[in-house]
Structure 1
Amino acid sequence: MRVALVGARGHGARHVENLLRLGHDGTATFVGVVDVADVDVPVPAYPDLPSLAAELHPEVVVISSPPGTHRDLALSAFELGCDVLVEKPAALTVAEFDEISEAAAEHGLVCQVGFQTQGRGSYRRLCSLIGSGALGDISGIGAAGRWVRTDSYYERADWAGRQGEDGTLVNPFAHALQNALLLADVEERSDVVVELELFRCRDTITADDTACVRVTSEGAPPVVVATTLCAATSLPPVVLVHGSLGQAVWWYDDDKLTVNEHRMAVPPSVDLLENLIRHRQTGEPLVAPLAAARAFTTVVEQCGKADVPLLPARRTGDRVVLDGVDEVVVRAAEKIATFDELGCGFGR
């Protein structure tokens, strides 16, 4: 299938590499890119999607541009008759989510969201364990994200650190949130209740760099995701599934899963673009369909509207450290508790 890419810099560079790989394998034909800057790619570059489509006729458009552009680009791609793989967050509001969903249905096209960790073999194995009852009754899903980010992280793009488009739950730890919602089986629900605690330790940003969210829905286990970019030390993000027969620990970036401290064998990962292409060719189910991002989008929208107070933090060179946060985010995931309930000093 003929594939075009919108946004070839930053994370888009990974899509360039993947498209070249798929081209070498004969799975896809990488026809061109759209970018507002000059980019070093071995395919033609265009200033906008309609001009590219007029000459190159793509069948799939991969969107890896700033989050605020996703809605318009997805709608444009559907008008041009293209299926879409859009990076997360696909939409910044539920209204945008509905627009994209309705447009895809109207044109008979599909939209996959770039939650690549949903393609991990460890995710499929964990879903199987939960579904089979191997973990017993699930009492809660927790996730913890703890990274160190320097000032340069917020200089990488104009939208970096901007509330509504960025923030720990919306962008760097979006996978932690989405994965927890999926494992709680609330990803498509519109009746979720969202409790947010958002904070920032830099006065140069408006989005959070430290956050805790609890998502609840009737009949489903509660979800708590706690995150920070102001840690003293970085650790791989982790999802904890608390069951009456044991606990699963999933390091989604590393494709590693343990149950009651035993390492589990996992099947191979699935590439999202390959999966979308096979969906069109054979009917294979989409791994990360847009419909499965409804609850995630509800949280994203609320993050864009919430208060984000400034916390005093310790500056160390080109980064800031929120003392005590390293332990707190892990305890929140372990206890399925908010910052405030843990009495950590910066919760509400």
Structure 2
Amino acid sequence: MQEVGFAVVGVRNFAGSYLRNIEELEAEGKIKLTAVVVKDQVKNAEKVRELRHRGIAIYSSYESLLKESKNSVDLIGLPVSIPTHAEMAIKGMKAGYDILLEKPPAPTVQEMDAIMRTEKETGRFTSIGFQFIHSNTIRKIKQFILEGKLGEIKEIAAKGFWSRFKSYYDRNNWAGTSIEMGKLVLDGPIHNAFAHYLNNMIFLAGSDMQSSAELKRVRAELYRAHSYIESDDNSCLEAETTKGTKIYFYVTHVPEEKRDPVMEIVGTEGKISWKMNEETKIELNNGETIEFDNEGLDPHKEVFRIAADKKLGLIEELYCTPENTRSFTVAINGAYESAKKIKAVPQELVEEFTNDEGEYQTVLPGIDDLIDQAFAERKLISDLGKVDWAVKTEWINVENYTDFNPFN
């Protein structure tokens, strides 16, 4: 079987995960790592030596990779900074390469549209690295829904509680920012760490296996408790699709206790409960219960397999594309328009301290109960009327949405 020559831009942070996944998949015979971009080859000297010893070409810039690797590279992985996603994907496709782009795909809907235009102009593809769209459970749930077994989908809701310490925000220049070097980042929990779970819901509400739902309107509240960042760290969002399905999303980076994301899907014929570890339980109104998990399929690796299969012509359709993640970006842009600004929680209500692991942690006491109640009642935090710092926001119509520009 022909192998897909894979390049990765970077070796640190999430690029390291790309390199590990590709290395583990090479034994399957579809993928071979052939090139890596390492800008700082002094700082990463040990990794550069290791890669060169394996016969992998090292480039000092993305531009040199694009110019010089056409004979060895078919597909480029871009686990790069959020504000560079669209620009680098477009540049890569125009140079003749297919792209695997890390999530979130791009901060604005107009950048998403530019990526899609470039796909059409060049005949190249961009696959998006939302791993759960590649997972056994999410695809099985979607098929179950499309077969009508859950009836009409009335609502989908998710919540998650993950602390983010100062070390997380210190890892690069754009973490915890809304804007970096004049470019939008929007690095809040809904757009980055928990982005998968919002995208899952929009995908599951879509009308076929290739599509996500089109959104009609979005309402959101964005709050910040950390004293040293500019982006949000507590977010809640509600959206309505053009078919009438309601979507609810509640996430925090300043919880009292870590809890991984969970999702509920409610239809007229029953309910589905899904956990991040992919434990899935379907409870139908007729009393039938169905349970399943990922059956050993690692969705992180499936991201690479599917991109390779598409390149090799083994499948016709990618699983996760700019087209079916566009609505995710519309939801994010609509959320920022609805919230208007990120509201700071009064610092006297916030606790910041060095925890037992030596990490500088921020906690907003009471946020866990607030999110649990909001999730249970399908309300935004301000609608609960329990805290003075919460601010009501307005719905934003996002049908035919083509431009997000907060600088206007």
Instruction: Give me the TM-score of the superposition, normalised by structure 2.
Output: 0.80
What residue in structure 1 maps to residue 342 of structure 2? 308
1:192–1:295 contact (8 Å) kept in structure 2 = no
> Residue deviations 1:162-187, cap 9 Å, x none?
01421000100001110111122286
Query: In terms of mean alpha carbon deviation, does 39-48 or 119-128 score higher?
Result: 39-48
* Secondary structure in structure 2 of the residue aligned to 1:148: coil
1:141–1:242 contact (8 Å) kept in structure 2 = yes
> Residue deviations 1:269-316, cap 9 Å, x none?
551121011112223421111111111111333455630011031224
For residue 323 of structure 2, the aligned residue among 267, 291, 299 is 291
Residue 56 of structure 1: how far off its partner (Å): 2.3
What percentage of residue pairs aligned between the two structures are identical?
26
What residue in structure 1 maps to residue 31 of structure 2? 28
> Residue deviations 1:108-167, cap 9 Å, x none?
111111100111111112112222233233221001011122221111111000014210
For residue 368 of structure 2, the aligned residue among 326, 333, 341 is 326
Q: Is it true that 1:258 corresponds to 2:258 in the alignment?
A: no
Q: Is it true that 1:220 corresponds to 2:244 in the alignment?
A: yes
What residue in structure 1 maps to residue 404 of structure 2? none
Change (3 A) 1:134 1:190: closer
* Secondary structure in structure 2 of the residue aligned to 1:96: helix
Residue 266 of structure 1: how far off its partner (Å): 4.7
1:138-287 alignment runs, 5 A limit: 138-163=153-178, 164-165=184-185, 166-185=187-206, 188=212, 191-252=215-276, 254-260=277-283, 263-267=291-295, 268-269=297-298, 271-280=302-311, 281-287=313-319
1:225–1:332 contact (8 Å) kept in structure 2 = no
Q: Which amino acid aligns with 1:323?
A: P
1:127 & 1:194 partners in 2: Cα distance? 23
Query: In terms of mean alpha carbon deviation, does 83-92 or 25-34 score higher?
Result: 25-34
Residue 27 of structure 1: how far off its partner (Å): 1.2
Note the residue ranges of structure 1 that are not aligned, 5 or more in a row. Answer: none
Query: In terms of mean alpha carbon deviation, does 102-111 or 41-50 score higher?
Result: 41-50
2:205–2:213 contact (8 Å) kept in structure 1 = no
What residue in structure 1 maps to residue 383 of structure 2? 341
Residue 192 of structure 1: how far off its partner (Å): 3.0
Change (3 A) 1:344 1:132: farther
Change (3 A) 1:269 1:284: farther
What residue in structure 1 maps to residue 181 of structure 2? none
Residue 191 of structure 1: how far off its partner (Å): 4.8
> Residue deviations 1:175-212, cap 9 Å, x none?
11101111222865665311110000023111100000
Q: Which amino acid aligns with 1:246?
A: G
Q: Is it true that 1:115 corresponds to 2:118 in the alignment?
A: no
Q: Which amino acid aligns with 1:324?
A: G
What residue in structure 1 maps to residue 21 of structure 2? 18
> Residue deviations 1:211-270, cap 9 Å, x none?
001111232311011100000111111111122332211113x12211237532555355
> Residue deviations 1:37-66, cap 9 Å, x none?
333151333222231233322211110010
* Secondary structure in structure 2 of the residue aligned to 1:286: coil
Task: State the superposition RMSD in angstroms.
Answer: 2.0
Aligned residue-pair number: 347
Please tell me whether Structure 1 or Structure 2 has the larger radius of gyration of its CA atoms: 2
Change (3 A) 1:319 1:265: closer
